[in-house]
A and B are shown apart, each in its own frame.
Chain A
């Protein structure tokens, strides 16, 4: 059997803010194409761990490695290139309210220096994937919460990331819309993109079971999703 290739490695990571450690001695590995939940109560450090992965925050000690990017050697100017290999979605969608659905997705291509006719084709493909190509000229405020999150997912997938980080993506959505979003994330994972999803929606974890890690008192432990 072929050994899985690690995509993310956290090795004895200590991290926090202004000298106060939120995570202490966290070790974690996520392989390519894997789906993993990150659970824990509010304030347990889930978002902090995700910040370490898109290197908004660097560890106080220990190592964070995402693909070829290592926290101990990365330079500030290399961080944008790391982020191009990741897709990130948040609870509050973070769409640009002054431009259409199409432009919110196409924007990713423009700001990473891509242009041309294939941008249009690619944006339409992404919007079709999340079921929103027919609403491409709508503005974000004209969409429901679930639709806005789908636009955010399309945007996150624009550059074919190896890893999708989802920080409480269903936190603002009602249960049946949350299920739609979960199915989309599930499909994305089936196509080969690794997904790390921070959530405290244990019902959703039980409904779509996958590997689950929990943050308890600043440490990461593997848990059985069935017992949550």
Chain B
């Protein structure tokens, strides 16, 4: 019965103070939508950068003739912790590629054997930054039989700079949005608490403990937060999958955080529930202490 009472009271606001509940729910959904948008934009930006970094490859040109068997090279390179994949481009393959890329104009070069054999190397994600890539390049350059190591250092440098800038900006915007969302939710949830001031006063009068008075508000905040998170997640899905995708089809290539829209949706529901619960608990605590009995 007591549990039944607590549950009834926690959902009673929906009926007894619908305006306050709707105001809180709307604010929460919008605040969580903003938080979700920041997370999504940050995740998308990261994916774009990672995608670009993935394309950066090191080309290791070998002296002719090779100093040792290709298998020995491949075995050594594949065991390197910095290297994700290695492809061997023989002199013949290099000539074929040259012919394919330059077409008939390539016929100007009568003999193709000036093209050296090479390895195309992709680094593991942790090494895809200017310093690590340069260190790997230096190490490869020092190997016997290597003529030259070439890679797009400028692109890596530019990406690194932009990532740093975008990360700081993203963290700053994310922090402000999060703070604004919490302040907004705390303030609007006060409306639902204020709407029940008479109930609080009476509960205090008859000797209800502070926790007992607070619990229905905490549960209500939890429910409102969950609902707000669910609505925000839904709006985010519609925005990205339907609205944005029809204007910017490139976005369809990008993955949702955790590979599935439900992951972000679930995270928003959980986060909303947590923020709602804590905000309600905080607001109710202050209000309970300040509500006079007469």
Contact = CB atoms under 8 A, between A and B. Distances in A.
Interface of A: 47, 51, 54, 56, 76-77, 80-84, 88, 90, 94-98, 107-108, 110-116, 119, 155, 158-159, 167
Contact of A54 (B208, B212, B293): B293
Q: Which 7 A-B pairs have the closest CB atoms?
A: A115-B1, A84-B207, A83-B207, A111-B208, A110-B5, A80-B207, A108-B206
B120 interface: no
23 contacts: A51-B294, A56-B293, A80-B207, A80-B208, A80-B209, A80-B210, A83-B205, A84-B206, A84-B207, A94-B198, A94-B202, A110-B1, A110-B2, A110-B5, A111-B207, A112-B206, A112-B207, A112-B208, A115-B1, A115-B5, A119-B1, A159-B207, A167-B294
B210 A107 contact: no
Contact of B294 (A56, A97, A107): A56
B292 A56 contact: yes
Nearest to A112: B207
Contacts of A84: 206-207
A114 B3 CA distance: 11
B189 to A, nearest CB: 20
B150 to A, nearest CB: 73
A81 B210 CA distance: 11
Contacts of B201: 94
Contacts of B292: 56
Given A111-B203, A159-B206, 15 more contacts: A51-B293, A76-B210, A83-B206, A84-B207, A90-B294, A95-B202, A96-B199, A96-B202, A111-B207, A111-B213, A112-B206, A113-B2, A113-B212, A115-B5, A167-B294
A113 B206 CA distance: 12
B255 interface: no
B16 interface: yes
Nearest to A47: B294
A149 to B, nearest CB: 15
Interface in B198-224: 198-199, 201-210, 212-213
B293 to A, nearest CB: 5
Nearest to B16: A98
B198 A107 contact: no
A108 B293 CA distance: 15
Nearest to B209: A80
A158 B2 CA distance: 16
A222 to B, nearest CB: 25
Nearest to A167: B294
A120 to B, nearest CB: 10
B206 to A, nearest CB: 5
B294 A77 contact: no
Contacts of B202: 94-96, 107
B290 to A, nearest CB: 12
Nearest to A78: B209
A192 to B, nearest CB: 20
Contact of A77 (B199, B205, B210): B210
A110 B205 CA distance: 14
A150 to B, nearest CB: 16
Contacts of A110: 1-2, 5
Nearest to A116: B1
Contacts of B1: 110, 115-116, 119
Contacts of A114: 2
Contacts of B210: 76-77, 80
Contacts of B203: 111
Interface in B265-294: 292-294
B208 to A, nearest CB: 4
B1 to A, nearest CB: 3
B206 A111 contact: yes
Nearest to A84: B207
Contacts of A51: 293-294
Contacts of A76: 210
Contacts of A94: 198, 201-202, 205
B218 to A, nearest CB: 15
Interface string B1-21: 110010000000000100000
A88 to B, nearest CB: 6
A49 B109 CA distance: 109
A110 B4 CA distance: 9
Contacts of B2: 110, 113-115
Interface in B1-56: 1-2, 5, 16
